Amino acid sequence: MSSEHFPKSPKPRVAVVFGGRSSEHAISVVTAGAVLSAIDREKYDVLPIGITPDGRWALTADAPERMAIADRKLPSVEELAESSSEGAVLLPLDPASREVVYSEPGSVPKALGEVDVVFPVLHGPYGEDGTIQGMLELSGVPYVGSGVLASAVGMDKEYMKRVFISYGLPVGPYEVIRPREWERDPAAARKKIVDFAGDHGWPLFIKPARAGSSMGITKVECLEGLDEAVEEARRHDPKILVESLLRGREIECGVLEFEDGPRASVPAEIPSEGGHDFYDFEAKYIDSAAGIVPAPLTEKETARVRELAVRAFDAASCEGLVRADFFLLESGEFVINEINTMPGFTPISMYPRMWQETGLSYPELIDRLIQAALRRPTGLR
């Protein structure tokens, strides 16, 4: 079947892919709105593509103003979709072609033009975990951010910690409860958690092993409420992570890939006050709990956390960008909590704020990420 064709643009075309099937769908939409607002339209053509919660790739309105959280209401791809519920956007799977096609039943497919680079502002599983990255590798289409391995490692907190430990990075105590442990013998799994608490003390944090935006995390003060916390985490991921409370300050640091290698931003601090037990979803995105940028650290502490952030970036073989999260313990030691290979880019997100304080504006940050993706070949070349 033939398709309608549109003339190729003289400017690089950036496909901003957002939404997705994870529980972080709405935050991805908010991130995409901020990115779409910041991309230099004189330098790039933009093609917004939304992925619905059921996995359909849809043409969406290029309407950043409709992608924000308004009156505590979260946006969705369905509200932005311009195509019918049966239409779908198809990315190329042939490395010889970068043409994106829109197809509806009973209609001639429309060629939407070639895509030069994909900006996958997807958070969580089915987007930030190496799945989309693998598809783009097969297609031979350059994309912003880390590749398959680093994306998968950055999503799975268990293996992320294993990689960090192997590279000598400081990691806090943790335990893993695998799906079959809880499903086959919950009493034994519960005892495993209680024994961990006996070694490291209460409270504990029960969290999904492969989720982000603080989704599904519960702070548990004692045995009562443990089962409920486990089930809440398992709603997002059947594999859960158990961590002890690390008493100290929460410090974040951004890493960005430059032509000569990765560099770290000035760090930020997440304040402990604000009516939240920890820096959860509500604090991050609904109540706008603001971090302190730059973090009030000594020169030595600042240099140390920036060094550790870059080391974490390299340890996981990351590319493009990373936000690294740390605890500064009362002893003065930094412990790395996790990295995020596609951190939030909402107007209040810490990653762009840290780089703005370092001297890179939001539009400049987006441009550097796109240019880094265009420079880097896909595959093993």
Q: Is 78 a catalytic site residue?
A: yes
Of these residues, 139, 151, 337, 340, which one is catalytic? Answer: 340
Distance of alpha carbon 376 from alpha carbon 381, whole angstroms: 9
Distance of alpha carbon 156 from alpha carbon 353, whole angstroms: 26
Q: Is 102 a catalytic site residue?
A: no
Of these residues, 291, 344, 353, 368, which one is catalytic? Answer: 344
Of these residues, 33, 116, 338, 368, which one is catalytic? Answer: 338
Give the residue from 91, 131, 71 showing the smallest Cα distance to 342.
131
Of these residues, 139, 146, 213, 244, which one is catalytic? Answer: 213
Distance of alpha carbon 132 from alpha carbon 317, whole angstroms: 17
Of these residues, 62, 78, 137, 181, which one is catalytic? Answer: 78
Cβ count near 348 (within 10 Å): 16
Q: Is 323 a catalytic site residue?
A: yes
Distance of alpha carbon 304 from alpha carbon 52, whole angstroms: 41
CA distances from 375 to 54, 74, 352 (A): 33, 35, 22
Q: Is 174 a catalytic site residue?
A: no
Of these residues, 325, 349, 353, 368, which one is catalytic? Answer: 325
Distance of alpha carbon 196 from alpha carbon 234, whole angstroms: 19
Cβ count near 5 (within 10 Å): 11
Q: Is 285 a catalytic site residue?
A: yes
Of these residues, 304, 323, 353, 368, which one is catalytic? Answer: 323
Cβ count near 94 (within 10 Å): 10
Asked whether 68 and 74 are in contact (CB, 8 A), the reply is no
For the annotated catalytic residues, the residue numbers are 78, 213, 285, 323, 325, 338, 340, 344
